[in-house]
Amino acid sequence: MKLIKKILLAILIVLVAIQFIQPGKNNSNEILPTDISKQFSIPESVQAVLKTSCYDCHSNNTRYPWYSFIQPGAWWMASHIKNGKADLNFSEFGSYSTHKQQSKLKSIANTINDGSMPLSAYTIIHNTAKLSKENKALVIDWATKMKDSLSQKIKL
Amino acid sequence: MKNIIIGIAVFATTLSACNNSSDKSNEAKNKNSDSVITSSKTNQEPTKVTTSVKDIIDGYLQMKNALVNDNGSDAANAGKTIMTAVDKMDTSSLSDQQKKSFADVADDIKENAQHCSVNGNKIEHQREHFEMLTQDMYDLVKSAGAGQTLYYDHCPMYNNGKGANWISEIKEIKNPYLGKKMLTCGSVKEALK
């Protein structure tokens, strides 16, 4: 019994201690010249969906909910953001080569279509980020059209 | 009890001191400034293909053949071969125009190859990236030359009838998208020299 008490106390100490360690926040508060919205005109309806459902992990600006400050959740979230941005960062989309932009647009359409994005681990907590059938179609249609217009650009 | 509280405080301060990872959003700004390739060498033969372009093509064909055989782990290895080939690519013998096209496809080739290399157990995912890789390879070959005869083939069925292309070293059709199910489905669109 005494041992269990000690272990519980130790766990509590660690839990309290890690609350003081907060990972750096992904919040640049500025729109880079490489931001997708600066380089391409995106319909407002599409932009709204991207902001709600994608930007938390795929841009330099995350909207942090209150519970994101509770550890170890904050670490978990930080790693999601890091991986998400490595694969696709809308804030730096303009710095990608035209080929890479095309591939990314195609992957956007593919992953939304097969449901692998947005991640279910994310939408469970962020219910509003779930994509309705209409919004899925909206983004897929936009990404496909924009990809096609980029491939025209390469041919010219 | 007092000791414990002090202990927590000390522990926490130590840890938070080591935790100054701030996000560098400025990196992107630097990245965006045009990637100018500086090379002092002048080209006598702008059309000459370096062995490295051939290495990239070889890696691609290796991946294509692995996908023809429905072999995801071989395709993953080919992905690694391609990534290395892009990394050690010697662009000094390319013309300025060719360097520019190479710079435009290089990051995408690497990224698509990387996705294939880590998804050896998801062959359909590999095929999606293989299709994007083909587009890059086609533009690379068109610009830098292949050094051999290659065939640009078309599969009308992949992607729910949207179709997809691939590059092959043989004239005979061996479809990498649908594998054994539809091995001979497709047609030659263009011969690339």
Question: pLDDT digits over B65-124, tens only?
Answer: 998 888 889 988 888 888 888 888 887 878 888 888 888 888 899 989 998 989 888 888
Look at A28 and B25 and tell me if their CB atoms are within 8 Å.
yes
| pLDDT interval class at B181 (50, 70, 90) | confident
Chain B residue whose CA is closest to A30? B25
Decide the pairing of beta strands B164-168 and B150-155: antiparallel
DSSP one-letter code for A42: -
Q: Residue B192's pLDDT is what? A: 83
Q: Quick one: which of B104, B100, B96 has its CA closest to B42?
A: B96
Domain that holds residue B152: 51-192
Q: Confidence class of residue B11 from pLDDT cuts 50, 70 and 90?
A: very low
User: In the prediction, which pLDDT does B6 show?
Assistant: 52
Instruction: Answer yes or no: is B181 within a domain.
Output: yes
Q: Look at residue B19 and give its three-state secondary structure.
A: coil
- DSSP SS3 for B186: coil
Residue whose pair of structure tokens reads 């795929």 in the numeric block: A58
Asked whether residue B14 is assigned to any structural domain, the reply reads no
Confirm whether B30 is domain-assigned: no
Compute the distance between CA of residue B102 and CA of residue B86 in angstroms, rounded to an integer. 10
- Is the pLDDT at B33 greater than 50, yes or no? no
Show which residues on chain A lie within 8 Å of chain B, measured between beta carbons: 9, 13, 16-28, 30, 32-34, 60, 89, 91-92, 94-100, 102-103, 106-107, 110, 151, 154
Residue among B1, B3, B32 with most chain A CBs within 10 A, to mutate: B32
User: Distance between CA atoms of A38 and A56, rounded to whole angstroms?
Assistant: 19
Strand B187-192: give its sheet, edge to edge: B164-168, B150-155, B187-192
Mean pLDDT within B171-175: 88
Confidence at B36, pLDDT banded by 50, 70, 90? very low
Cβ(B117)–Cβ(B76) under 8 Å?
yes
Q: How many domains does chain B have?
A: 1
Residue B116 placed within a domain: yes
Contacts of A33 in chain B (CB under 8 A): 29, 32
What span, in angstroms and rounded, lies between the C-alpha atoms of A41 and B61? 38
Tokens of A70: 């509770």
Domain contains B127? yes
pLDDT digits 0-9 by tens, A102-147: 899 999 998 998 888 898 888 888 888 888 989 999 999 999 889 8
CB A146, CB A105: distance < 8 Å: yes
Residue stretches of chain A with pLDDT short of 70: 1, 153-156
Residue B173 lies in a domain: yes
Instruction: Give how far B116 is from chain A: nearest CA, Å.
Output: 13
Report how far residue B153's alpha carbon sits from residue B134's, in angstroms, rounded to the nearest whole number: 10
**Which of the two residues, B182 and B11, has the higher pLDDT score?**
B182
Q: What range does the domain containing A72 cover? A: 2-155
Subunit contact B31:A92, Cβ cutoff 8 A: yes
| Tokens 């290659």 found at | B150
Is B120 part of any domain?
yes
Separation of first and last alpha carbons in chain B:
80
Rounded Cα gap, residues B185 and B174, in angstroms: 7
For tokens 């681990």, what's the residue? A121
Structural domains in chain A (count): 1
Q: Between A154 and B30, where is the model more confident?
A: A154
pTM over 0.95: no
